[in-house]
Amino acid sequence: MEEMPKLSREQFIERMRSLFEESLGKVADAINDAPAGQVIAASEEPVRDVFTEFRRRAYELGVQMRIDAAEAAFSPSEGSNDRTQQTQQGT
């Protein structure tokens, strides 16, 4: 089996950068919005949810980029006689 092409690490990071910054902003908001004396209790779950969503989206993007790299590297053949025969038989 041929090795699957790898995604570009630099492109992945670049595409994730804005989502990462947005996620960190949400973490800061969750911490700031927590009432005094309950910072951990009130912010822990929202922060966990932010990172769960970030992790999911990062993984999905990475897998999709790797699939896209494999498809871009795929070189379709020029065809074979079998296809010509199938076309002729179908008509």
Q: Would you say residue 86 lies in a domain?
A: no
> What is the helix (H) or strand (E) element at residue 64, kind and residue range?
helix 39-73
Q: Would you say residue 87 lies in a domain?
A: no
Q: Looking at the whole model, is its pTM more than 0.85?
A: no
The pLDDT assigned to 42 comes to 98
**Tally of domains in the chain:** 1
The pLDDT assigned to 63 comes to 97
Q: Would you say residue 72 lies in a domain?
A: yes
Q: Would you say residue 44 lies in a domain?
A: yes
The pLDDT assigned to 85 comes to 54
Which residues form the domain of 63? 9-76
Q: Would you say residue 88 lies in a domain?
A: no
d(C-alpha 14, C-alpha 24), whole Å: 16
Q: Is 36 helix (H, G, I), strand (E, B) or coil?
A: coil
